[in-house]
């Protein structure tokens, strides 16, 4: 890598051999087509908002819907390699003007009126994927938008946006470096998904007794959950309360968004004043969410096993297992497995908001090894798999952070890539 001298520009300092241009100076925008409902389901491939939202590129027409379009419309609103589609309107400001580059052949394909096509001849396809997603460019897009019911951006506003234009060979080098970073992230995502599927299969096999770990052969027992421990309710902790101090706490919604089968970290921290009216947890407690959005997820639970002071909020049902009967980590996994989750779903009540009551949770039938040793051995296998997934997630987060740093450096010219023989 190399450094360089800078010159002032409309978007800040840029390398001496770069330019800054408005998008309208070297490219043209085009509105998409709007059709009546009966025009869809037949005809030519059609790129809609949902096909591109949040995606940096589109490589083929596979999976697209169909729309009836004339030859004139196809000629006028077609797509070709290198085109960019910008989102015209978004409920949230951060969604407006998101860009998707056409990075493949899409013959006879048209695009929606919710999108704007940009066609130019100065920016490399790969470079545009990143230049239009760079933080400063995104801030310029949002600043140029207008707000009514949604946040909107039009052709005129986009034409006036400045973008840095390095020489074409450097655009290619930048695109290659950032594409390599994306490939690293994508490989980690695929590995994480593969490991999750392996874990799901392992849970299904071990928690049903279909596969036994070496050294264990005794019969499993069937018990009602109410026989395995005692239950109590949590006490209300509001969203504001959850940011009031430094004492760890769990709110019911966090069982869906933050915690898996075992509580590893905390999203809420409360003050001493809030703790005085909240419910103190005991190491080994199992926490159930008593409210949720769907019956399939209702009663999601997690085991609290850390020997620290922590509290539970309202709409949580807390089970303290009998030590001689159940291992808490085993329950954390077993009670989220399909066999138990199906029972919770069947007991869920309500439509817009689903609830599950203490009696329904107590009546859950659970199959478990008769010895604590086998329960703990199963829990350890699953815990090791969770640790591996957590390590991969941290690696992915690090890769994403590195990519963001690369974008900041390369797309502003702060760091220059070697020419490699050019």
Look up the domain containing 290 and give its range: 219-370
Q: For residue 287, what pLDDT band results from cuts at 50, 70 and 90? A: very high
pLDDT in tens, 292-326: 999 999 999 999 999 999 999 999 999 999 998 99
Q: Residue 3: what pLDDT?
A: 57
Q: Tell which residue, 246, 248, 247, has the closest CA to residue 265.
A: 248
Which token pair is 68? 């009836």
The answer on pLDDT for 189 being more than 90 is yes
Q: How many CB atoms lie within 10 A of CB 241?
A: 22
For the domain that residue 235 is a member of, what is the CATH number?
Answer: 3.90.220.20
Q: Report d(CA 354, CA 357) in Å as an integer.
A: 10
Classify burial at 166, counting beta carbons within 10 Å of its beta carbon; exposed 0-12, middle 13-18, buried 19 or more: buried
Is residue 331 domain-resident?
yes
Is residue 10 domain-resident?
no
Q: Model-level pTM?
A: 0.84
* Domains contained in the chain, number: 2
Is residue 306 domain-resident?
yes
Instruction: Answer yes or no: do 255 and 342 share one domain.
Output: yes
The answer on pLDDT for 114 being more than 90 is yes
Handedness of CA 10, 11, 14, 20 (dihedral sign): negative
Is residue 66 domain-resident?
yes
Q: Report d(CA 130, CA 132) in Å as an integer.
A: 5
Q: Report d(CA 187, CA 361) in Å as an integer.
A: 40
Average pLDDT over residues 156-185: 96
**What is the average pLDDT value for the chain, to the nearest integer?**
94
Instruction: Answer yes or no: do 141 and 224 share one domain.
Output: no
Is residue 214 domain-resident?
no
The answer on pLDDT for 361 being more than 80 is yes
The answer on pLDDT for 408 being more than 50 is yes
Q: For residue 420, what pLDDT band results from cuts at 50, 70 and 90? A: low
Instruction: Answer yes or no: do 246 and 328 share one domain.
Output: yes
Q: Report d(CA 325, CA 226) in Å as an integer.
A: 12
Instruction: Answer yes or no: do 123 and 238 share one domain.
Output: no
Q: Crossing angle for the helix pair 338-347 and 168-208, nearest 10 degrees? A: 80
Is residue 212 domain-resident?
no
Distance of CA 265 to the CA centre of its chain: 19
The answer on pLDDT for 119 being more than 50 is yes
Is residue 8 domain-resident?
no
Q: Residue 334: what pLDDT?
A: 96
The answer on pLDDT for 47 being more than 60 is yes
Question: Which of 103, 131, 165 marks a domain boundary?
Answer: 165
Question: Which of 120, 136, 165 marks a domain boundary?
Answer: 165
- Specify the pairing of strand 27-31 against strand 115-120: antiparallel
Question: Which of 165, 189, 205 marks a domain boundary?
Answer: 165
The answer on pLDDT for 61 being more than 60 is yes
Residue 381, helix vs strand vs coil: helix
Instruction: Answer yes or no: do 148 and 245 share one domain.
Output: no
Q: For residue 421, what pLDDT band results from cuts at 50, 70 and 90? A: very low
pLDDT in tens, 63-105: 999 999 999 999 999 999 999 999 999 999 999 999 999 999 9
Q: Residue 1: what pLDDT?
A: 53
């Amino acid at each position: 890598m190399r450094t360089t001298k800078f010159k002032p520009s409309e978007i800040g300092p840029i390398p001496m051999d770069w330019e800054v241009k408005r998008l309208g100076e070297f490219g043209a925008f085009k509105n998409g087509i709007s059709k009546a409902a009966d025009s869809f389901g037949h005809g030519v491939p059609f790129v809609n908002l949902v096909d591109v939202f949040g995606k940096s590129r589109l490589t083929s027409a596979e999976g697209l819907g169909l729309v009836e379009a004339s030859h004139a419309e196809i000629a006028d609103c077609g797509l070709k390699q290198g085109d960019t589609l910008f989102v015209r309107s978004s409920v949230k400001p951060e969604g407006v003007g998101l860009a998707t580059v056409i990075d493949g052949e899409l013959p006879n394909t048209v695009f929606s009126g919710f999108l704007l096509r940009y066609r130019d001849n100065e920016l490399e396809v790969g470079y545009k994927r990143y230049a239009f997603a760079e933080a400063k460019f995104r801030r310029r897009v949002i600043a140029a938008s207008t707000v009514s019911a949604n946040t909107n951006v039009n052709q005129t506003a986009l034409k006036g946006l400045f973008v840095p234009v390095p020489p074409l060979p450097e655009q290619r080098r930048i695109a290659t470096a950032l594409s390599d970073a994306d490939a690293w992230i994508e490989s980690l995502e695929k590995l994480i998904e593969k490991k999750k599927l392996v874990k799901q299969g392992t849970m299904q096999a071990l928690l049903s007794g279909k596969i036994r770990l070496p050294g264990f052969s005794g019969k499993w027992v069937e018990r009602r959950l109410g026989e395995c421990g005692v239950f109590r309710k949590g006490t209300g902790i509001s969203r504001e309360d959850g940011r009031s101090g430094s004492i760890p706490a769990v709110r019911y919604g966090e069982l869906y968004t933050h915690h898996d089968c075992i509580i590893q970290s905390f999203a809420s921290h409360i003050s001493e004043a809030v703790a005085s009216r909240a419910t103190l947890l005991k190491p080994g407690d199992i926490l159930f969410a008593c409210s949720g959005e769907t019956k399939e997820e209702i009663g999601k639970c997690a085991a609290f096993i850390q020997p620290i002071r922590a509290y539970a909020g309202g709409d949580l049902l807390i089970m303290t297992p009998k030590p001689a009967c159940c291992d808490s980590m085993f329950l954390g996994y077993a009670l989220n497995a399909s066999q138990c989750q199906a029972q919770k779903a069947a007991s869920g009540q309500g439509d817009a908001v689903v609830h599950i009551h203490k009696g329904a949770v107590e009546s859950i039938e659970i199959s478990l090894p008769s010895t604590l040793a086998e329960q703990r051995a199963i829990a350890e296998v699953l815990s090791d798999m969770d640790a591996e997934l957590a390590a991969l997630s941290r690696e992915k987060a690090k890769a994403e952070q590195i990519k963001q740093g690369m974008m900041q450096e390369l797309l502003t010219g702060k760091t220059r890539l070697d020419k490699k023989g050019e």
